[in-house]
Chains A and B, each alone.
Chain A
Amino acid sequence: MALLALPAAAQVKSGSEFLSPGMARQQADETRNPGFFWVEQGEGLFSARPPQGQACIVCHAEPRQSLRGAATRYPQVDAASGKLLNLEGRIEQCRVERQTQPAFGHESAELLAMTAYIASLSRGLPMDVATDGAAKPFYEAGKAFFERRQGQLNLSCQQCHDGLVGQKLRGDTISHGAGTGYPAYRLEWNSVGSLHRRLRACSLGVRATQFDFGSPEYLALELYLAGRAKDLPVETPAIRR
């Protein structure tokens, strides 16, 4: 397994490379990719002043520069709490602690929009999460999860997303599961959804436990996927089947 993991990881490709030409064109075309509606909504929310409290943009002036690249470094360990935070988690932290507003909530249109907006500011930049130091135990936990067989089908993530890459599974072509385009617009959802929503679909696919949005299990998995996807560009909002 260890032997397998290294060379495979060096060749991890974006999910976009497994799209049909039609969907790849649609993803690249802002006049066709509905994901940009969420980006636009997020951009609006970012400058909107809540009833009591400051707009995000007051503290994060010039977000196109100041937050450019931020998404490439998530998930990361929060220095103060020692917890692993993904981009959604960091946004909610600012929302609650700094903006003093109620959390948007997982999978709410607002959190998806804000996450899509902030991630879109890093479009084209290479993923670059820390997997050592304080992040190491989380990364290792994510890796173990990825390699563990699970569910009624007794399949690991790795069996599909390393071993069967390029194979057809019903309507899908199995990719490396890089997850570098999330939040993404999925035709199946008719909407934008988070990476954790996608992970829940894969867990269900093998009849395994579906963990909650923002659960420690999926956060660790997200860190592992992000580490594995090192140097792949951020593509949010991607289009997926």
Chain B
Amino acid sequence: MSSSISLRSRAIEPNRRAVLAGAAAGLALAGLPAPAFAAGTPELSEFVARITEGAVPLREGVTLAIPPLVENGNSVDVRVAVESPMTEQNHVRWIHLIADKNPFPDMARLHLGPRAGRAEISTTLRLAQSQRVTAVAALSDGRFAMAEADVVVTLSACIDGG
């Protein structure tokens, strides 16, 4: 799963739009309902759609905690919690983190399961610039849920010459 993501996403770097169009064709995005596009930039919804294989994520049940103003994009604390009983029948399979303006938008995927007990993770991300961060959770019933947050990345005052 992750290796196919990295291959596709790595190919995005030289010509993101062209390659995305190709990827989208492969995923039969044509049938994607409009609401998915309403929320973010078209490109971001394409990233999300690629991850959910076209399904429209619910916009509930996911908490994405990230500072709105980041002091340095090199390491940004993020915490994601998903409302889920985390049972065999009903759990979060994974949480995927996207930064649409990073050179490589797919940042990470954290695979959980019923053994986790709770769907709550935190980690440290690298954000190239101010942008929208998206967390997409894949649920065991095949549905997806997501949350987004806008992050302003400030620069450090003294650039390092040493």
Q: Do chains A and B touch in the complex (CB under 8 A)?
A: yes
Which residues of A line the B interface, CB within 8 A?
Answer: 20, 22-23, 26, 107, 169-172, 187-190, 193, 196-197, 200-205, 210, 213, 241
Main secondary structure of the interface of B (DSSP, over half): loop
> Quick one: CB contact mask for B135-159 with A, threshold 8 Å, 1 for yes?
0000000000000000000111111
Contact among A171, A172, A204 for B161, CB-based, below 8 A = A204
Contact among A20, A26, A202 for B158, CB-based, below 8 A = A202
Shortest A180–chain B CB gap in Å is 18
State whether A172 touches B156 (Cβ < 8 A): yes
New A-B pairs, 14, CB < 8 Å, besides A22-B77, A172-B156, A205-B158: A22-B67, A26-B77, A107-B162, A169-B157, A171-B71, A172-B71, A172-B158, A189-B160, A200-B161, A201-B159, A204-B159, A205-B159, A210-B162, A213-B162
A19: nearest chain-B partner, CB-CB: B71
Shortest A58–chain B CB gap in Å is 34
Which residues of B line the A interface, CB within 8 A?
Answer: 67, 71-72, 74-75, 77, 154-162
Residues of A within 8 A of B75 (CB): 187, 190
State whether A170 touches B74 (Cβ < 8 A): no
A174: nearest chain-B partner, CB-CB: B157
Contact among B67, B74, B77 for A188, CB-based, below 8 A = B74
A-B contact pairs, 23 of them (CB 8 A): A170-B154, A170-B155, A170-B156, A170-B157, A172-B71, A172-B156, A172-B157, A187-B71, A187-B72, A187-B75, A188-B74, A188-B160, A189-B160, A200-B161, A200-B162, A201-B159, A202-B158, A204-B159, A204-B161, A204-B162, A205-B159, A210-B162, A241-B71
